[in-house]
Chains A and B, each alone.
Chain A
Amino acid sequence: MLNKHCKSRIKKLRLNRFWEYIAERTLLLCASAAIVSVLIISVYIFYSGLPIFGKAGFREIVFGTEWKPLEGQFGILPMIIASIITTLGAVALAAFIGLMTAVFLAEIAPAGLAKIVRPAVELLAGIPSVVYGFFSLIVLVPLIDKYLGGGGNSLLAAVIILIMMVLPTIINIAESSLRAVPSEYKEGSLALGASQIQTIFKVQIPAAKSGIIAGIVLGMGRAIGETMAVILVIGNTPQIPTSLLDRARTLTSNIALEMSYAEGLHQEALFATGVVLFIFIMLLNIAVTFLFRKAGEGS
């Protein structure tokens, strides 16, 4: 009797262990979904985008200045330049405004005010990019045309709207990096007689440096990858811009504009545009990972 009971008990435990095993493996499968996705995305982007480099020539594509896909000219240098200018322009300004807003939220703002500003920043992050684009098309483009001329559809319009779009990224990360600075640093500095502003700029910001830079690089990733907002305001002419009021076309808008009707080599050239963009993004991602790791070590 006892023996029989023991046996069924052991059987049940074995069964349990079997299910445990199955469950663990299933969860592992879920966890590897991210790895599989990254691999499959990279493979397909490169597999589709690389052949044209062999056919049309690497230099002709990356350093070519003429984008005439129907005549077999696939130079994307104008797009690369436009992407870099819009990204750097937007991030340079957004980094300053964002860092100051982060300082405001972390140190300066009275508690009640911070409670209003923080949800505002969150809403800014949540508004769809196409809404930004539409707003910019309706409001900024006419304003630029009226006061600076040139029609309004321009690099400048794209830069301004990108500033608004990358602000929340920079603010959120800079604020949490500032908050992660040990309070002893601040107390020590204040005890030595430094003012609050001196403490912020000479102690807290330097201590949070890696995190803040990571936020800025993350903002760059957002800016260079932004598509729909930029398409609506930048004018989309594939030429090397000579001033901020020129029309231009970014890498992202090149893909989105022509993908729906492109065929053959033209389509492959768009895939190649994706490859170039993908490489830019990967470099930024690696920089972010590195910076966050450094920030983690620092604190």
Chain B
Amino acid sequence: MKKLRTKDAAITVVIWLCALLTVSGLLWLVIYIVANGLSHINLEFLLSEYKGDKHGILPMILSTCYIVLLSLAISAPIGIGAAIYLVEFTKPGRLLQIIRFATETLAGIPSIIYGLFGFIFFVNVLKFNFSLLSGALTLSIMVLPVIIRTTEETLKAVPLSYREGSLALGATKIQTIWKIILPSAIPGILTAVILSVGRIVGETAAVYLTAGMVTRFATSVMDSGRTLAVHLYMLAKEGLSFEQAFATATVLIVTVALINLLMTKTVGKIKKTMNSR
């Protein structure tokens, strides 16, 4: 009995240590980078161009924003539409299985393969060259599974009684979806969108091979542009300036942390509204 107890205690210690290791790894990374980066962040760094002796990251911030908006403009409607079809129209069967398998496969394909595909298809075959458009098209396929799956989960959580009530009042299926189901699923859809923003902001390999790495201000979607993540990669790879790299990494970490915070907030809101029903 005593032997058992010491064994249990030892295992419990190992479990605590592993959890501690996970958290301390994260803390080490975040604190180290933010502590070194924060002092180099100022308005000039954030708001000036990257040219000559100016090392600002404004062009990269803008390129990142363009790519985020463009990718979402493409993938959000398609992804949400797909989720609606999967939840509201399909019966369990072959088609559903195939679509699900395709979504899982897309989710499992690594970003470098997306980059390679984007390079072959959008850059070379469709002749979009290295451009924000090529990057955004590639990324919109990459985030499609995120949007589909998250939206699907939210739509499933909308109570059946809502649908029944609406249909019983004589509304058509499309009216029910448009006026009853979608409005009550908005927080979940927002979560899907925020999640995708995080993926796009952090992506390097796929953007690097499709949108290029030009540091000018992009003036059209056919221009090449460098996102923040690619900028950090270039700075680190070429060993140009670790100060700028720390600062850029800090900007990225803060962005991701804000996105996560925003997400916890919306998820909390969903839970609240679901409970109040």
Contact = CB atoms under 8 A, between A and B. Distances in A.
A129 interface: yes
A103 to B, nearest CB: 6
Contacts of B25: 124, 164, 167
B174 to A, nearest CB: 5
B18 A34 contact: no
B138 to A, nearest CB: 10
B89 A228 contact: no
Interface stretch (B45-53, B161-169, B184-192, B256-264): B256-264
Given A96-B18, A232-B236, A271 B112 contact: no
B78 A33 contact: yes
Contact of A138 (B101, B119, B242): B242
B183 to A, nearest CB: 17
A48 B108 CA distance: 21
Contact of B102 (A19, A38, A135, A227): A38
Greatest chain A CB density within 10 A among B17, B148, B205, B264 is at: B205
B249 interface: yes
Interface stretch (B54-62, B80-88, B214-222): B80-88
B21 interface: yes
Most buried by B among A100, A117, A231: A100
B19 A128 contact: no
Given A129-B202, A196-B8, A255-B116, A34 B144 contact: yes
Nearest to A223: B110
A16 B85 CA distance: 18
A111 interface: no
Contacts of B116: 45, 255, 259, 270-271, 274
Interface in A90-107: 96-98, 100-101, 103-105
Interface stretch (B27-35, B65-73, B269-277): B27-35
B108 A124 contact: no
Contacts of A195: 4-5, 8
Interface residues of A, number: 87
A135 B242 CA distance: 11
Interface residues of B, number: 88
B110 A221 contact: yes
Contacts of A98: 22
Interface string B99-138: 1011111101111111111011100010000000000000
A256 B209 contact: yes
A164 to B, nearest CB: 5
Contacts of B104: 285, 288-289
A24 interface: yes
Contacts of B15: 100-101, 103-104, 108
B144 A37 contact: yes
B113 A285 contact: no
A40 interface: yes
Contacts of A116: 23
A117 B141 contact: no
Contacts of B204: 128-130, 227-228
Contacts of A171: 22
Interface stretch (A54-62, A71-79, A176-184, A276-284): A276-284
B12 interface: yes
A224 to B, nearest CB: 7
A185 interface: no
Contacts of B120: 44-45, 48, 271
Nearest to A253: B112
A288 B106 CA distance: 13
Contacts of A255: 112, 115-116
6 contacts: A19-B174, A34-B144, A35-B102, A45-B116, A119-B260, A137-B236
Interface of A: 16, 19-20, 23-24, 26-35, 37-38, 40-41, 44-45, 48, 96-98, 100-101, 103-105, 108-109, 116-117, 119-124, 126-135, 137-139, 164, 167, 171, 195-198, 201, 218, 221-222, 224-228, 231-232, 252, 255-256, 259-260, 270-271, 274, 277-278, 281-282, 284-285, 288-289
Given A131-B252, A196-B8, 16 more contacts: A20-B172, A27-B81, A31-B90, A34-B103, A41-B117, A45-B120, A101-B15, A126-B256, A127-B202, A197-B8, A228-B205, A232-B237, A255-B116, A256-B208, A281-B110, A288-B104
Which 8 pairs across A and B sit closest by C-beta, in order of nearness? A225-B110, A30-B81, A128-B202, A100-B18, A27-B85, A104-B19, A31-B85, A34-B102
